Amino acid sequence: MSDRLTVLKTYKLYVGGKFPRSESGRVYEVTDAKGRWLANAPLSSRKDARDAVVAARKAFGAWSGATAYNRGQVLYRVAEMLEGRRDQFVREVADAEGLSKSRSAAVVDATIDRWVWYAGWTDKIAQVVGGGNPVAGPFFNLSSPEPTGVVAVLAPQESSFLGLVSVLAPVIATGNTAVVVASEKSPLPALSLAEVLATSDVPGGVVNVLSGRTAEIATPLASHQDVNAIDLAGADEELAKDLEIAAADNLKRVLRPQPVDYAETPGIDRMTAFLETKTVWHPTGSLGASGSSY
């Protein structure tokens, strides 16, 4: 009896709910922490970035218009799906980051918990950063946070899974759509996460995952006029500076890279970074002779 042939996985991009190869047809070799070959990942071009932005823009209306409660359910579903593929991610993260099985399992558990954490925030963030404002007039004055739009996310280079989810989940929890540039050295957990997102009721286009050279993909994203914000977590100092200059042209919101311990409880800063505040004035009613309408 002959040995069974191994079935190698073709890692692909995730754009608009589909899994295309790179438009350029290019791939690059991904190795584990010790330099052994793991797989070929797509080497995205600027046209893949453009297509991803189009998909993210198309998905924005429905995702930002969905109720916060519904978004929470969808994000919780992502955690459920991840739980079912835990072993795969433990293996991939161990390979990517050179961790032992038990350390890697702890990272994957923390990542799943992070999805649950952000799933809980979707319908609570408005109470925390919005609310009624006291004003000197017969008006209700209400502020509510609204998503910024299409957010380009450069995922952290070192923390290929926990770091990725820690920057992606806050973006989509509040109703933005995202174009994610995966860690250049270890993109495989991000590309596998796309398969989880595709099967967890996250509408196509809400998250788009690109792999390749961060600088090559991020440059057109930073200057793209239809991208509303960019998270530079995965850019080094020099690249971050160039991208921030390019992003200034259409006044993108820019989140500069900062040292983060992704194992810590994150706080709400990453959510509020990509929210805008809308304030409305509503008359309380006509004033009577007494100066009050009541």
Residue of 21, 57, 91, 256 that binds another protein (CB under 8 A): 57
Interface residues for another protein in 249-268 (CB under 8 A)? 249
Interface residues for another protein in 214-233 (CB under 8 A)? 220, 223-227
Give the nearest distance from C-beta 248 to another protein in angstroms: 12
Interface with another protein: number of residues (CB under 8 A): 10
Which of 88, 94, 90 lies closest to 33, judged by CA?
94
The burial of 91, by beta-carbon neighbours within 10 Å (0-12 exposed, 13-18 middle, 19 or more buried), is given as middle
Nearest residue (CB) to another protein, 65 versus 283: 65
Give the nearest distance from C-beta 227 to another protein in angstroms: 8
- Please tell me whether residue 248 binds another protein under the rule CB under 8 A: no
Q: Report the interhelical angle of 162-173 vs 68-84 (nearest 10°).
A: 160
- Please tell me whether residue 158 binds another protein under the rule CB under 8 A: no
Nearest residue (CB) to another protein, 57 versus 86: 57
Structure-token pair, residue 228? 């509303």
Q: How far is CA 210 from CA 28, 30, 47, 218, in A?
A: 13, 14, 11, 10
Give the nearest distance from C-beta 182 to another protein in angstroms: 20
Residues 32 and 10: their CA atoms lie apart, in Å, by 16
β-partners of residue 7 are: none
Indicate the SS3 state at residue 146. Answer: strand
Residues contacting 169, CB < 8 A, separation 6+ = 75, 114, 115, 118
Give the nearest distance from C-beta 223 to another protein in angstroms: 4
Residue of 50, 185, 253, 256 that binds another protein (CB under 8 A): 50
Residues 147 and 153: their CA atoms lie apart, in Å, by 15
Give the nearest distance from C-beta 246 to another protein in angstroms: 8
Cβ distance 287 to 293 under 8 Å?
Answer: yes
Indicate the SS3 state at residue 259. Answer: coil
Nearest residue (CB) to another protein, 150 versus 169: 150
Binding site residues, another protein, CB under 8 A: 50, 53, 57, 220, 223-227, 249
